[in-house]
Structure 1
Amino acid sequence: MAIFQYRDGLQTDLWMETATLTGLALYALVMTITPGPNNLMLTTSGLVFGMARTWPHILGIPFGVAVQLMSVGAGLGAVFALEPRIQIFLKIIGTAYLLWLAYKLWRAAEMPDASLAKPVSFFQAAAFQFVNPKAWLIAVTVIAAFISPDNGYLIQLVFASAIFTVVGIPCLAVWAAFGAGLRQVLHDPSKLLLINRSMSALAALTAGLFWL
């Protein structure tokens, strides 16, 4: 079912089907708020760097998802289906990136001043979506379930991207705020270090999800 449809084939203004819009918004909510590599990374970033320095990371994720949706809509998803080796290559890159990030976060916890470390940037967060299996699942499902190839295809893609951005940013911010909240509550440096290193270890283990 498409996000938009024409009435009688003559109407130039697009109208939105409430049921489809609700379904897409709920799908965006579930896929964004549930645990995954992005949310784990955001929690760790909030813990290590605080909320203010994590915002570029938060905003970069929906931007990357939007670009990914456009790419899959343009036919990139079909390319991956025809060439499985591309998917394996992306899994390797994604695994290496997560392990590298886990190492950075582990090292950041050792620094007396976290401001000396660098959180994930806007464009790094956006680029990570292209090696994130959960993000690919989202993009492929949205194109298959909510986008019609007949009625305002490009507008539907733009609108779907906007929904994921509007729904996703608050959900992602919750995970970052959780980490930042732990940072404020745990004043004991040893406990803060323990939790941060546990999160860093989880980030490394999350790389295993790419191969399930």
Structure 2
Amino acid sequence: MNITSFLLYCLIVTFTPGPTNIVILSAVQNFGVKKTMEYVYGATVSFGILLAVSALLNSALITVVPKVLSIMQIIGSFYILYLAYQIFKMDVSEATVSKPVGFITGLLMQFVNPKVILFTMTVIPSFVIPYYNSFWSLFVFAAVITAIGFLAFITWVLFGTIFKEFLQKYQRASNTIMALFLVYSAFVASGIVGLFRR
């Protein structure tokens, strides 16, 4: 397992602007840290649930249809490339939140957040299952990824205003660097590296 590529993918996807992080950023400015933390707890719980469901579904599917792993790796790689493109062209300057946030809002938003759904459905089969497929190893990786997600949410809470200003000031440079890291992760997750080693 290429742990560097796995961590890069997890860190970039969870720490970069997306619907959840933008809501956190705006909520901390509009409603304060305490109310935003309720949203963060809800978002973290549903993030963990989605990862656990993905791990179980993909593990069961691979047991029934072993060739599906290669297909999921390819789909995951294309999704990572798509994310790289989205991050490269992203504009975070106009994101605001006007509605109150809370635990239930955070919980429900993850289930309709395409970035989170696609990430949770691709990270396990692309990076974990090719190397580890026991129940406990999948549980550990799901817990680690959930913790990374929680740390990303906390980062957006703690450094909300400063982080937003930084992204606006250096948006093009930071988005380009993160997009290039994602392209590297897509290349590794695709399984192409393994073909060259044979």
Aligning the two structures, in what range does the TM-score lie when normalised by the shorter sequence?
A: 0.5 to 0.7
Task: Give % identity.
Answer: 14
Q: Which runs of 5+ in 2 are unaligned?
A: 26-38, 98-108, 194-198
Instruction: Tell me the TM-score normalized by structure 2.
Output: 0.56
8 Å contact from structure 1 (residues 98, 203) kept in 2: yes
- After superposition, residues 182-197 of structure 1 pair within 5 angstroms as 184-185=162-163, 187=165, 189-197=168-176
Q: CA–CA distance in 2 between the matches of 1:200 and 1:114?
A: 20
Aligned to 1:77: 62
How far did 1:49 drift?
Answer: 4.6
Q: CA–CA distance in 1 between the matches of 2:175 and 2:152?
A: 14
How far did 1:44 drift?
Answer: 1.2
8 Å contact from structure 1 (residues 44, 200) kept in 2: no
Residue 91 and residue 115 in structure 1: after superposition, are their counterparts in 2 closer, same or farther (change >3 A)?
A: farther
Paired letter, 2:90: A
8 Å contact from structure 2 (residues 47, 110) kept in 1: no
How far did 1:194 drift?
Answer: 1.6
- After superposition, residues 1-212 of structure 1 pair within 5 angstroms as 35-45=7-17, 49-50=21-22, 52=24, 58-71=44-57, 75-81=60-66, 83=67, 86-109=68-91, 112-115=93-96, 121-123=110-112, 124=114, 125-132=116-123, 133-136=126-129, 140-142=133-135, 164=142, 169-178=146-155, 181=159, 184-185=162-163, 187=165, 189-210=168-189, 211=191, 212=193
Larger Rg: 1
How well do the aligned residues superpose, as a CA RMSD in angstroms?
Answer: 4.1
Q: Which runs of 5+ in 1 are unaligned?
A: 1-30, 147-159
Instruction: Tell me the TM-score normalized by structure 1.
Output: 0.53
